[in-house]
Amino acid sequence: MVFQIALASILHVVAKRGMTIDSYVSANLIPQEKLPLVIEAVKGIRHLVKRFKFKATAEQVSALEDKVEKCRNQENNIDSEL
C-alpha cells in the first residue's frame, strides 16, 4: 500500500508539471551520469517482460500469495493489528 501511495504522489506531481513519468524520473530521480545505464537496464527488463509468459494455476497463485504474506512487514500492513 505504501508504494501505491508513493507512486500516486509521483504521478500527481508529474501531471501537475505537464511532464511524462519518464521525463520526470530522468530529470529528478536519477543522477545524469547514471541515466544511460538505467535506460539500458529498463529496456532489458521490458524486453524480458514482453517475452515472459506466466501461466499459473489458481493453486500456484495462492501458494505465492501465502509466501508474500509471510514476508510482509506487519507494521506496514493496514490490515494488521500492529
User: Which pLDDT value is given to residue 11?
Assistant: 86
Which of 4, 39, 44 is closest to 22 using CA atoms?
Answer: 39
The predicted model scores a pTM of: 0.45
Name the strand (E) or helix (H) holding 50.
Answer: helix 35-51
| Whether the predicted pLDDT of 1 surpasses 70 | no
Q: Is 1 helix (H, G, I), strand (E, B) or coil?
A: coil
| Whether the predicted pLDDT of 65 surpasses 70 | yes
> Do 19 and 11 meet the contact criterion of CB atoms below 8 Å apart?
no
